[in-house]
Amino acid sequence: MSSLSSLPSALPASGSEAPPGRPRPVLSAAGRPLRLALCLSPLLIAVIWGLTNRSLLLEGVARLAHAEPGWLLAGGGLTCLTWVVAACIRQGAVPDRLPPGLLLASQFAAGAANHALPAGLGAHAVTVRFLRTRGVPLERATASIALYSVAKSGAKTVVLVVFLLSSSAWRRLGELVPDGMVLVPVVVVVTLAGVTAAVVRPLRRPVTGLVRCALSDARVVHARPSRALALWGGATALPLVQAGVLACTGEALGLGLSWGDVLLAYLAAGTAGGAVPVPGGVAVDAALVFTLAAFGAPLAVATATVIGYRVLTDWLPLLPGALVLSAMIRAKVL
């Protein structure tokens, strides 16, 4: 498969026609506004939220400017650890041996891609591209994404249940749970999608092929203890490490909540906000602010904590991640 960097050369010049006998390229100038809108949508949503909550945002930024640097440095160290854990999960999801250094670099670069697409699609696209360049067939590369997502969601659910059973703070989550009628459309959409994939013939064949490939690779992966440990151990550790970044940021700002409450708030808000397909994690951030406030944190401090968390996990690594992504594309690693 050709590199992404070769795409511009495959496009005709502006105002010119494609050469005779060659199909018109899929990517055209008409798609540029859509790609630009996808890239700018997280920034636009954040700007709108900031304008409507200006005083709260300014107070949060002011508190962040006086945070304890030691705790912020610890949060930065845990942020670096999240890329290592993500690379472990990716390796555990495929039977093939992947180069550790390049795999880690691809996960660092994938963080930059996640700002343009919701639900982790940017990171998944970068990972599929990386696996394809390593000789993994497209069907197996896609199946690894499914296995990765199942392991990540399953392990996070188990961790959340454990915290719910071991903490008394779960009682305060009741006011954040949506009304049952809100969940009905979600259940209906998921059910219709499954029925459509099973009934429509053009969709049935690729879906069944993907499921068959995913089950086959899952058996191979779980027959190797090192792969199974990387997959499930990493999937269990990832939400804890990410919540640790939030807890360190809260300590730096004087959030006033225990680490157990912060971890539970992160897991609950991530589960609720992750169901909303908005790029850049904006829905998760909003849910996280209100969850921390429901646990007893002042709203301004909770806002500052979430801002600091996003600065450490997203905005500081964004430029280096984009540079690594560009370098890997130029080197034809992606």
Residue 17 domain flag = no
> What percentage of the chain exceeds 90 in pLDDT?
31
Contact 164, 282 (CB under 8 A): no
Residue 8 domain flag = no
**Residue 146 pLDDT exceeds 60:** yes
What pLDDT shows up at residue 189? 45
Q: What is the pLDDT of residues 202-246, one digit of tens each?
A: 555 566 666 777 788 889 999 999 999 999 999 999 999 999 999
Write the CA distances from 61 to 112, 257, 258, 293, integer angstroms.
23, 19, 22, 17
**Residue 165 pLDDT exceeds 70:** yes
Residue 149 domain flag = yes
Contact 316, 282 (CB under 8 A): no
Residue 224 domain flag = yes
Is the pTM value of this prediction over 0.85? no
What pLDDT shows up at residue 45? 55
Residue 93: which H helix or E strand, with range? none
Q: What is the pLDDT of residues 24-77, one digit of tens each?
A: 444 445 455 655 555 555 555 556 656 666 666 676 667 777 889 999 999 999
Q: Which residue reads 């300590």 in tokens?
A: 251
Please give the average per-residue pLDDT across 121-131, as a whole number: 89
| Burial class of residue 1 (count of CB atoms within 10 Å of its CB; 0-12, 13-18, 19+) | exposed
Residue 28 domain flag = no
Which among 38, 31, 86, 108 has a CA at the least distance from the CA of 333?
A: 108
Q: What is the pLDDT of residues 305-326, one digit of tens each?
A: 998 998 898 888 888 888 898 8
Residue 164 domain flag = yes
Residues 94, 131: Cα–Cα separation, whole Å: 9
Please give the average per-residue pLDDT across 160-174, as a whole number: 71
What pLDDT shows up at residue 112? 80
**Residue 275 pLDDT exceeds 50:** no
Average model confidence (pLDDT) across the chain: 76
Between 80 and 169, the higher pLDDT residue: 80
CA 81 from chain centre, in angstroms, equals 15
**22 phi, psi to nearest 5 deg:** -110, 140
Please give the average per-residue pLDDT across 80-95, as a whole number: 95
Please give the average per-residue pLDDT across 152-160, as a whole number: 89
Residue 37 domain flag = no
What pLDDT shows up at residue 188? 46
Please give the average per-residue pLDDT across 114-129, as a whole number: 78
Q: What is the pLDDT of residues 290-301, one digit of tens each?
A: 889 988 899 888
Residues 300, 284: Cα–Cα separation, whole Å: 17
Coil, strand or helix: which one is 29? helix
What pLDDT shows up at residue 33? 63
Domain tally for the chain?
1
Q: Which domain covers residue 230, as residue numbers?
A: 52-330
* pLDDT tier for residue 283 given thresholds of 50, 70 and 90: low
DSSP-derived secondary structure for 132-147: HHTT--HHHHHHHHHH
